[in-house]
Structure 1
Amino acid sequence: MDPVTTADTPARAGTKEWTALAVLSLPAMLIVMDLTVLHLAVPNLSAELRPSSSQLLWITDIYGFLIAGFLITMGSLGDRVGRRKLLLVGAAAFGAASVLAAYSANAEMLIAARALMGVAGATLMPSTLSLIRTMFEDARQRTKAISLWMTSFMVGGSIGPLVGGALLEQFWWGSVFLVGVPVMALLLLTGPYLLPEYRDPNAGRLDLPSAILLLATVLPVIYGVKKLAENGFGWTLVAAIALGLVVGVVFVRRQRMLDDPLIDVRLFRNPGYGAALGVMTISTFAMMGLNLFVMQYLQLVHGLSPFRAGLWVLPMTGGMMLGMSVAPALAGRVRPAFLIAAGMFVSAVGVGLMTQVGETGGFAMLIAGTVVMAAGFAPAAALGTDLVISSAPAESAGAASAASETSNEFGGALGLAVLGSVGTAVYRARMDDTLPSGLDPAAAEAARETLAAATAVAGRSPEQVGAELLEVARAAFTDGLQVTAVVSTTAVVVGGVLAAVLLRNVRQGGDTGNGGQVHEAETDGAAVAEEIVA
């Protein structure tokens, strides 16, 4: 039996709540797995469904785009209709859409199924995190619970390629989508008994124009940033980002005028909310951008298979799990600002190690760097998420949780775009100076685009020319990795300084220590709009 509590002492979670946390961690892990396994299945499904190039882009991208676009709307909807109810409806829809995707007869059917999975997936993350806020009232227990929940994301990202690769070796391409069906079935069976229901009793109706404006803000920005990372500069993509930002300003102004907004933009004036989101975005920016180069380095420079490269990512997961276990243990004695800042500086050391990775050496340095980087980012992920949902009123925890996940989406997209562009620019500049003679103009132009293209060209070239091309291409890519690591180190150090300064007065649980809630203070719309857009 849980100990008796007073009005001033939050109730402590018991066995039921910790069991429920384990169940809630499964869909969180699955969401990340589904972002990775599809890429492994692309060759097989392409051979069978024969999608056009544009259809293939929609198959791979629409899931992530719709998750990002609907997160805040679904979080706010859960606050209104019930978080458990929305979670269970979303789980049923996700399971059904997964079956539809697995047995798709053509590309159009698979695109529709992936779109449904994206919308359903957007209900899962904010619902699970806001339910954790409800189940774990004690600040220390909540921090530990969020750390364990965040760990499930790293585990999902790490084992996704391994599970997907194993399934594709034994079954058809659609099997990678069926992994989620038993997980969702377990959630549907146990959720009504383990999970509490919570909804804001005073919430009004969901403002449909706000939901449309938010979608028109997030989708163009996420689309533009991701495509800039993949395809390079293009005015159409810049225009998409600009359009999204303009609509975003309109969205913020509308929220200021509503009595019951989709998300209370005044929350961004609370350091525990706005500053924590900023630091988390920087962390995701660096980690996602660098992971892109790490996976390519392992496969294209060191020649590892995708499965073996995935195995070498597991130590990084171990580093994150170590950081996730240490951060809650220290949170009761050290203020979040100093834990997060210390973690960011540790991450900067890990990223700094990657600047020493060489073309033919430094494999151990790379793995050590990823482990230290992941361990250092853990406090920002766990404590930052805790600060975000704790700084918001309990009735708005769903929308606050969704904002946390959306910031991660933006951070990851920016990391891929900005760091990807930096690394690509260095690669092309080095290749311009070192391309071997003996290549025809078309082959030389292809080789200077990416290391993967250079590897393909080398395989079609005479042995001596191909070997020389591989050597200079790998050296150029390694130079790009090193420069990207320098840029990332700078960003992470800045994030650590911001955490130490902006969060210095915030205690565990989001209390600013000023005797009141910052989010209740009135602020002018222009200042809030500037912070949101920034």
Structure 2
Amino acid sequence: MTSTKDEISLAGRREWLGLAILALPALLASLELTVTHLALPSIAADLRPSGSELLWIVDIYAFLLAGSLVTMGALGDRIGRRRLLLGGAALYGVASVLAAYSVSPAMLIGTRALMGLAGSTLMPSVVALVASMFKDTRQRGVAIGIVVASVSGGTAIGPLVGGWLLDNFWWGSVFLAGVPVMAALLVAGPRLLPEYRAPGSKRLDPVSALLSMAAILPVVYGLKQIAADGFAWRWTGAIAVGLVLGAVFLRRQRRLADPMVDLALFASRVFSASAIALALAIFVLWGVNYAIAQFLQLAHGLDPLTAGLWTAPSAAGTIAGSLLAPRLAHRFPPGGVIAAGLVLAVAGFAVLTQVGPLGLLVTGSIVISAGLAPTMALATNLMIGAAPAERAGGAAAISATAPQLGGALGIALLGSLITAVYRDQFGHDAELTREALGSAAGADAFTTGFQVSAGVSAVLLLVTAAGAARFLPR
């Protein structure tokens, strides 16, 4: 017989309806990145940004989103997750409209930065609210799988919606696609979502908030510049500054009575290994999605809608894998399920190292998505389950921060790797490198860079799979 405690812990109709609302910002997270990638050639033709400005139009969103996640996770614990989610949704909608009607590269970069700040409120709130709404481990696993599938749904419809908009309207229309999603969240959220605050949370530490962002941006900027322009001491200095600030941030967290990041959570081997696996899985996934969107248009000369049609099938692998993973984890050890999925993704990247024909591209991307899905669905649940109940909010914030930071770095570093290979192919000619970012010139060199990045991703995932098999529950 089921105990009263178990009955209380089971989610009911209201929680599942609330999950449907939480799936909206999850869907938007991947949709926004996909449509932006498709719009880059059109943006380049209209606003005439430099190569550096074109990269920052994509990167600034991901950088500020990743840099602000720790702060927003802590802020949500203090003011309430639902309040932060709805406030962020409103700001995101306003920023999207401003981005759509930008008249210069500088304005678009600025509005994208605002979108990144607003976007950093969404996923930490979604994960924390799921953790508070679904106390039962199995129900929570299914709920997280649905959130991951929603992200993949955005990946699937993003190219189709974005391609259709770009074929029928101006490039700014792709930024307006998120406005109705945010509007629906603002209308239904207050009715269906509970408020959640971490017990005993105190005021936000502004010094920690500044340090968390200041530690990330110089490192990523320095790595990007080295990949794009070659080694220079000033870029190495930027990386060193970021690392030093990161060390200062961590030291401050250890000394604070109410830290922004509860470092004690990382004492759990399961928690730490899950966070690393999750971050690296999204690192390669966001990186390859960015590369494929550019590869189809720059190397194959496809228009945005056709490129979207070729990328859409990969989402089916993620949806299937994320929904199947919780079921597999009930029958097999979750560490084994994650490791097996990562090895499958390695096989997908091996296919991409031979890419040229579009059939190989689609096959490889589907295999990669299906292989990474178990990590995305199960690692988050393992992190929350490994944390004490009173630290669930902090664990949820870290589980949202790890993949977003990994994804931001994936776009920056793997994208820069492709640029570096292209630059090397053309004798370090900076002008040719800039032209490749906004046209189909240098298709063979771009293909070589794409294949190199796929090989690097395969090696990285193989190491991650070995770590998952060793350190995650067996």
CA distance in 2 between partners of 1:94 and 1:336 (Å): 36
CA distance in 1 between partners of 2:459 and 2:60 (Å): 32
Contact persistence 1:102–1:175 (CA under 8 A): yes
| Residue from 363, 383, 388 that aligns with 1:388 | 383
Post-superposition Cα deviations, 1:57-107, rounded to whole Å, max 9, x if no partner, equal 655443322211111111111111111111112122222333333345666
CA pair 92-482 structure 1, distance change in 2 beyond 3 A: closer
* C-alpha deviation, 1:264, in angstroms: 0.6
* C-alpha deviation, 1:114, in angstroms: 3.1
Alignment map for 1:29-40 (pairs within 5 Å):
29-40=27-38
Equivalent position SS for 1:348: helix
Gaps of 5+ in 1: 433-443, 458-469, 506-534
Q: Which residue of 1 aligns with 2:270?
A: 272
Q: Which residue of 1 aligns with 2:251?
A: 253
Q: Which amino acid aligns with 1:16?
A: R
* C-alpha deviation, 1:454, in angstroms: 11
CA distance in 1 between partners of 2:438 and 2:111 (Å): 35
Q: Which residue of 2 aligns with 1:452?
A: 436
Q: Which residue of 2 aligns with 1:163?
A: 161
* C-alpha deviation, 1:300, in angstroms: 4.0
Q: Which residue of 2 aligns with 1:334?
A: 332
Q: What is the root-mean-square deviation in Å for CA atoms of aligned residues?
A: 3.2
Contact persistence 2:127–2:400 (CA under 8 A): no
CA pair 10-275 structure 1, distance change in 2 beyond 3 A: farther
CA pair 88-427 structure 1, distance change in 2 beyond 3 A: closer
CA pair 181-427 structure 1, distance change in 2 beyond 3 A: closer
Q: Which residue of 2 aligns with 1:364?
A: 359
CA pair 348-252 structure 1, distance change in 2 beyond 3 A: same
* C-alpha deviation, 1:245, in angstroms: 1.2
Contact persistence 1:228–1:417 (CA under 8 A): no
Gaps of 5+ in 2: none
Q: Which residue of 2 aligns with 1:486?
A: 455
Post-superposition Cα deviations, 1:94-150, rounded to whole Å, max 9, x if no partner, equal 223333333456666555433332222111110011100011111111111111111
* Structure 1 stretch displaced more, 285-294 or 240-249: 285-294
CA distance in 1 between partners of 2:93 and 2:241 (Å): 34
CA distance in 2 between partners of 1:454 and 1:99 (Å): 24
* Structure 1 stretch displaced more, 217-226 or 293-302: 293-302
Q: How many residues align?
A: 474
CA pair 7-420 structure 1, distance change in 2 beyond 3 A: same
Equivalent position SS for 1:252: helix
CA pair 43-393 structure 1, distance change in 2 beyond 3 A: same
Q: Which amino acid aligns with 2:140?
A: R
CA distance in 2 between partners of 1:6 and 1:243 (Å): 54
CA distance in 1 between partners of 2:437 and 2:35 (Å): 23
Contact persistence 1:447–1:453 (CA under 8 A): no
| Residue from 197, 206, 209 that aligns with 1:208 | 206
Post-superposition Cα deviations, 1:154-192, rounded to whole Å, max 9, x if no partner, equal 222343333233223333443323222222221111111
* Structure 1 stretch displaced more, 72-81 or 232-241: 232-241
Contact persistence 1:427–1:479 (CA under 8 A): yes
CA pair 375-170 structure 1, distance change in 2 beyond 3 A: same
Q: Does 1:345 align with 2:329?
A: no
| Residue from 23, 26, 43 that aligns with 2:24 | 26
Q: Which residue of 2 aligns with 1:502?
A: 471
Q: Which residue of 2 aligns with 1:526?
A: none
Equivalent position SS for 1:203: coil
TM-score (norm 1): 0.79
CA pair 77-170 structure 1, distance change in 2 beyond 3 A: same
| Residue from 287, 290, 295 that aligns with 2:288 | 290
Whose relative contact order is higher, 1 or 2, with alpha carbons under 8 Å and at least 6 apart? 2
Post-superposition Cα deviations, 1:473-504, rounded to whole Å, max 9, x if no partner, equal 62x55444444433322221111110011113
Contact persistence 2:51–2:437 (CA under 8 A): no
| Residue from 5, 8, 11 that aligns with 2:9 | 11
* C-alpha deviation, 1:422, in angstroms: 5.2
CA distance in 1 between partners of 2:264 and 2:369 (Å): 32
Contact persistence 2:100–2:172 (CA under 8 A): yes
CA distance in 2 between partners of 1:122 and 1:405 (Å): 9
Q: Which amino acid aligns with 2:469?
A: A
